[in-house]
Amino acid sequence: SGESGAGKTESTKLLLQHIMNLCKGNSQLEQQILQVNPLLEAFGNAQTVMNDNSSRFGKYIQLRFQNNTVRGAKLSEYLLEKSRVVQQDAGERNFHIFYYMFAGLPSEKKEMYGLLDPSLYRYVSGRFGTQDVAQRWKHKYQEVCNALDMVGFQEQEQVDMQAILAGVLSLGNVTFEPEESNGSVKVSEASRGWLKAAAVSHKMNRQPYGHSAGSHWHPAVSCFCLLCADARDSIAKVAYGRVFGWIVSKINELLAENVDPDVELREIGILDIFGFENFAVNRFEQFCINLANEQLQHFFNHHIFQLEQAAYKEEELPWETITFNNNEPILNLLLAKPLGLLSLLDEQSAFPQATDKTFVDKLNSSFKGSLHFQPGRGRALGFSIIHYAGKVHYTAGGFLEKNRDTLPANIRGLFINSVTPLLSVLFTGNSHCRILLWLARLLICLCPHQHSLMVLMERMYSANPHFVRCIKPNSQKEPGVVDSQVVLQQLRYNGLLETIRIRRDGFSWRPSFEEFAER
């Protein structure tokens, strides 16, 4: 754990290499486990203002052992930041894979996928920079292709996948305008070519928006243009999310253990989750990320302070209790039922008439006087949470829509009927995928002491945890520079100063009675 850019993903890769080395690391499986990283980073990482290679999803890697040899592995992914596909703030980029494709695809392949100059696409932000950057991206694209081959993706699957990504980019350039004759909405004349390109890339039998997008709609045309734009962005986000989930499934097929089911395997799990974030503009995604980090901090406190000191008390050892910054009140504010922030968000999401403003009004009335909640100031719609790592102001726009995470049924039907086999597979069995998405969200968000312990927290609480605390040396993304104030702030809010005290004053060696008696 640690802030965004503190080195969690790099530490995870080093830890995996170390474990494979201890296993002698010669088997094909051990090499494959190490080689899936370029694939995950290309599709799941992006440049942010805090980190040039920021993980925009959480991953839990389970390594299964028999006789000190890796026999299998499984990867679970949580809360991919799909909104990044359609919107990036200043100084940020979309997922790496889009830039790698532009830099690495030969011209005939770009023509096949209908890819034009990257500067033309609304979903791809940021200047493409120097020739060196383009060359590095080209090399990364080759790494991705090698990883796809190694994981076992068929050539046609790789073609379909890149066609879907190209179609997503074309879809982003589709705009809408009012139909003057009947007050409905149609695709603008200027973007009909982009719509055709998206439909061709996704091999749809008919285009996802007809000549007129709903002639029964009237008179608030500008509102309907926005609704069409929202539906367009929803399609792009869901399509990308399904591709990412499919890649993870293929990786798990490759890495699954091939042993007798009766054989008991030991397990090491590594949780590499997005770090605490506080940007100039913080949205629903930052809220989910920071909530997950609140969970991890509570888990850390539980093991390092509560269990440790309870053991000393049980043994009746002379001990002066070490106080620590308990973040349980913050978790109660966010997760309590029926009046925690998430419960109120779900309640508002269930009302068709509810808006982000009614949601914020509900928060302001429910949490008036709370030490960990502050209403927004001025006309901007938002609120602040005093997290364990500091105060974060959240922009409330989009909270309800992102929490609902829905896709119109007629649009889903178009994908299911696509003649691209991969696209049809990704959108079939949608209710099952929705349940998985809902579970994934709960895995991160549910409090460990609530009645329903989900799988991830159960695993963590039943295991013997080791905590790797990553400390960010400076806020400028500079190598070899240590800003002592930045470091000290992290040591304080992570509880590491109190951890040092409990380690210094506590009991490092804890023999069993048998060991003690023998000595």
Question: Pick the catalytic residue: 9, 76, 83, 282?
Answer: 9
Q: Which two tokens stand for residue 246?
A: 């499919």
The answer to whether residue 5 is catalytic is yes
Question: Pick the catalytic residue: 1, 12, 54, 494?
Answer: 54
Q: Is 72 annotated as a binding residue?
A: no
Q: Is 5 annotated as a binding residue?
A: yes
The answer to whether residue 9 is catalytic is yes
The answer to whether residue 72 is catalytic is no
Question: Pick the catalytic residue: 1, 12, 48, 51?
Answer: 51
- The DSSP 8-state label assigned to residue 91 in this structure reads T
Name every residue whose Cβ is closer than 8 Å to that of residue 470 and which is 6 or more positions away in sequence: 1, 2, 3, 6, 7, 8, 11, 275
Question: Pick the catalytic residue: 30, 77, 277, 294?
Answer: 277
The answer to whether residue 51 is catalytic is yes
Q: Is 130 annotated as a binding residue?
A: no
The answer to whether residue 321 is catalytic is no
Q: Among candidates 415, 379, 422, which has minimal Cα distance to 153?
A: 422
415 CB burial (10 A radius; 0-12, 13-18, 19+): buried
Q: Is 2 annotated as a binding residue?
A: yes
Q: Is 214 annotated as a binding residue?
A: no
Question: Pick the catalytic residue: 12, 45, 55, 293?
Answer: 55
Q: Is 3 annotated as a binding residue?
A: yes
The answer to whether residue 107 is catalytic is no
Question: Pick the catalytic residue: 44, 241, 275, 397?
Answer: 275
Q: Among candidates 144, 153, 146, 66, which has minimal Cα distance to 99?
A: 144
* H or E element, residue 187: strand 185-187
Other beta carbons within 10 Å of 9: 23
- The DSSP 8-state label assigned to residue 306 in this structure reads I
Q: Is 8 annotated as a binding residue?
A: yes
Tell me the β-bridge partners of 187. Answer: 176
State residue 230 phi and psi, 5-degree precision.
-65, -40
Q: Is 7 annotated as a binding residue?
A: yes
Amino acid 316 reads E
| β-strand pairing of 54-55 with 45-46 | antiparallel
What dihedral do alpha carbons 471, 474, 480, 485 form, nearest 10°? Answer: -80
Amino acid 344 reads L
Q: Which two tokens stand for residue 342?
A: 């998430």
Angle at 356 between CA 90 and CA 227, to 5 degrees: 75
The answer to whether residue 130 is catalytic is no
| Cα separation, 445 vs 292, whole angstroms | 6
Q: Which residues contribute to the annotated binding site for ATP?
A: 2-9
Catalytic residue annotation: 4-5, 9, 51, 54-55, 275, 277
Q: Which residues contribute to the annotated binding site?
A: 2-9
